[in-house]
Structure 1
Amino acid sequence: MKILWNDQIVDEKEVKIGYEDRGYQFGDGIYEVIKIYNADVFTATEHIDRLYASADKIQLVIPYTKDVLHKMLHELIEINEVQNGHIYLQVTRGTSPRQHNFPLPVVESVLTAYTKETTRPLAELENGVKVCFVEDVRWLRCDIKSLNLLGNVLAKQEAVSKNCYEAIQHRGEIITEGSSSNVYGIKDGVLYTHPVSNLILNGITRKVILDCCQEVGIQVVEEAFTKEQALEMDEFIMSSTNAEVMPIISIDGHMIGNGKRGEWTEKLQQAFEKKIPATLEV
């Protein structure tokens, strides 16, 4: 497999990351996961824009223009001959002697990206998944897609230990988002989701879903809701780059609706699929 390492595409064995890289020692960096459908990147502009926005929030300089980065990612997909899967892309503040403050003089950031061939979770998209509640113990800048993911990792591991697909996080009684997803409840034909703030990541798939809501005619209310309200929803869904529009059929063993994918969820899935390449092979 070939890896994008800074501005070069090289064999994976050639990539060498310094032991004092700040991403390794501090989680001092940012990342994106971008979906590949039919050998092309989906919502690439939105992902790259968010990458640069995250960089600005932590005063990190990405030494390439957005156009150059787009070009390099397309070359990486072509060289690795990926049809359906995703790109993982990260940028760290670079390698320098260990100190908590930013390096002085400034060092060049380190960019790496690789591709992975994956299939769509078709069975789960049809049948739905089970999730559990987990207290949200992360820091207060969840709007930054940073490498500091230990809180997310612990939440996901708790979900896995309970044989669940995802952890639905909450601060007190208020639902925020999943450990690696955004979440939504549907009640009486209205979709509810936590408003964009520092407490959630404004997901790219989230933005696509909100566009789909307009197309299918479901009202959207960006308003926080509680754990109790979540259990009373007619339908519940989560979304991410790889999970797409994923139905949730139970939370902590409590059945949502009739325990099956709901009508609004199916409509949103159909609207979402119309936005990805028509030649997608499943």
Structure 2
Amino acid sequence: MTTATVAPGVGALLREWRDRRRMSQLELALRADSSARHISFIETGRSRPSQEMVLRLADHLDVPVRERNALLMAAGYAPHYPETALDAPAMGTLRAVMERLLTGFEPYPAIVVDGTYTVVAANRAVSLLLADVADHLLQPPMNAMRLTLHPQGIAPRIRNLRQWRGHLLDQMERQLALLRSAPLRALYEEVSAYPVPDGAADETAPGGEDAPFALPMMIEHGGRVLSFISTIATFNTPMDVTVSELAIETFVPADPETAAYLQRLMS
């Protein structure tokens, strides 16, 4: 005898998102120009929300675009946001924009990743970070988390690996708190289980007057230590699931020595 698994209705999903945002029914109702009674009826399944109401509530709950489609389907509606492959002709303008951004950021490294950290684009300076990385990690599709944390990736050259590893795993945990992504969960379980490479440096970022303004990644290259601050940019108000999950990560020199070295090297 088998037991069928019943997918949660839109009411239960909305209640879960509201709980995540620590918002009362009354607060959500005021923001969405509704009533606490109506929100309660939706959450308990006594009232079926309109497509417009689902999208409005999702907007005020800051629900990710992919999950907004899931809410709509749970309510019996078709997905509102398309999911277009990045190599589709319709994405030509987007690809050109990303290419200009990445090229313009040289001589500093920059990459574009999707929602599971697959590298979809990178500039030439990224090759500086990939010295001595095992060939199997460089085969497409490359994954930024595997490249960074795998013992045969760049992990052995990261001088403050424990700090940087903790930062990356915390970042993934925050994403998993917002997304029902089985691939992202599987990736997190994989990379969090990687052992710290034998002989890996265990330095920490400097403190006091020499402290950087954000946690740097300190990485060995060519007999010296380069220091980078990572910044992440996303697209505002995306209208496509694929675009909503893209992130442009740039590595800004954290000190004048790193900036000068990269300028010389790439020139």
Q: TM-score range by the shorter chain?
A: under 0.3
Q: Using structure 2 for the length normalisation, give the TM-score.
A: 0.27
Structure whose alpha-carbon radius of gyration is higher:
2
What is the TM-score when the length of structure 1 is the normalising length? 0.26
**Higher normalized helix content (fraction of residues):** 2
